[in-house]
Amino acid sequence: MTLIKTEALVLKTIPFQETSSIVRLFTKEQGKISVIAKGARRMKSALRGYLEPLNYIEAIYYFKITRDIQTLSKVDLLQSFFSNTRDIEYTIYGTAVLEVIDKVVRDHQYDDKIFNLAVQILKNMDLHTDQCIILFADFLLAMADILGYKLDTSVCSQCKNRLTTAIYNPGSGRLVCNDCGRYTSSAHKLSEYEMQFLNDLSRHNLDTEINISAEPSAADRIIQMLIRYLSHHLDYPLNLKSLSLLSEISQ
Ligand SMILES: [Zn+2]
């Protein structure tokens, strides 16, 4: 048994037995793991309150390779994202980041690029809550890149002509020009404005402040396209419950 100390994002917490919790963590050192937090729901527990989703923590746990669930020993809170906003609409985009990670990263799949991306995006969302929708699109595009499915936004994937407007081809999972995509449903068309936004995102360096603006409806269409794009390349549907909650709220 080894004692591991690592930064982690709390993805999900489920009550377990009388006073404990099972917590899914995305750790910097070991990827996605589950830990049991014994007695964490007792009033006097030192773990209480730290194990909520959207918390960025330093966790110390006992690791045994033969166990599915590791034993949490100690937690320090590094940052609680969205603690300064009551606007659920913003928080939903942060939750959607966690949901993508939970669905895309396999257990024990170690990837510090994904970890650093998630922390960076959540920190930026926390600082600029009004930019959450743009930052979420930024996150999806960067995720596609890290997973090895970089989206080419510059040229048509068939005829290689430069793209100003484009059509997302759901069959190939690529962008094509209007000519090559003339038999594709118009639902997948991206306007010049939407393509400009997508190009701005792909040029954006994640370490720098985001100074990209877009109409929320355009950002939303790009997000929907990127979800279809990721689902196509991952080969399973990336249905995000958090985003469907968003459309319920806005109705
Ligand atoms: Zn073409």
**Residue extent(s) of CATH 1.20.1440.120 domains in the chain:** 88-250
Distance 155 CA to ligand 1 centre (A): 8
Architecture of domain 88-250: Up-down Bundle (1.20)
Distance 15 CA to ligand 1 centre (A): 53
Rounded to 5°, angle at Cα 121 from 222 and 169: 20
The model carries a pTM of 0.93
The stretch 118-137 carries a mean pLDDT of: 93
Q: Is the dihedral of CA 40, 41, 42, 45 positive or negative?
A: positive
Q: Which of 230, 222, 64, 62 minimizes the C-alpha distance to 144?
A: 230
Query: Which is more confident, 117 or 213?
Result: 117
Distance 164 CA to ligand 1 centre (A): 11
Query: Which is more confident, 210 or 54?
Result: 54
Q: Is 192 exposed, middle or buried (0-12, 13-18, 19+ CB in 10 A)?
A: exposed
Which tens digit of pLDDT belongs to each residue from 3-61? 999 999 999 999 999 999 999 999 999 999 999 999 999 888 888 889 999 999 999 99
Distance 204 CA to ligand 1 centre (A): 26
**Residue extent(s) of CATH 2.40.50.140 domains in the chain:** 2-80
Distance 162 CA to ligand 1 centre (A): 8
Q: Is 82 exposed, middle or buried (0-12, 13-18, 19+ CB in 10 A)?
A: buried
Distance 225 CA to ligand 1 centre (A): 18
CATH code: domain 2-80 is 2.40.50.140
Using a CB cutoff of 5 Å, list residues around ligand 1, an ion. 156, 158-159, 177, 180
Q: Are 13 and 21 in contact (CB under 8 A)?
A: yes
Distance 132 CA to ligand 1 centre (A): 33
Rounded to 5°, angle at Cα 53 from 233 and 112: 50
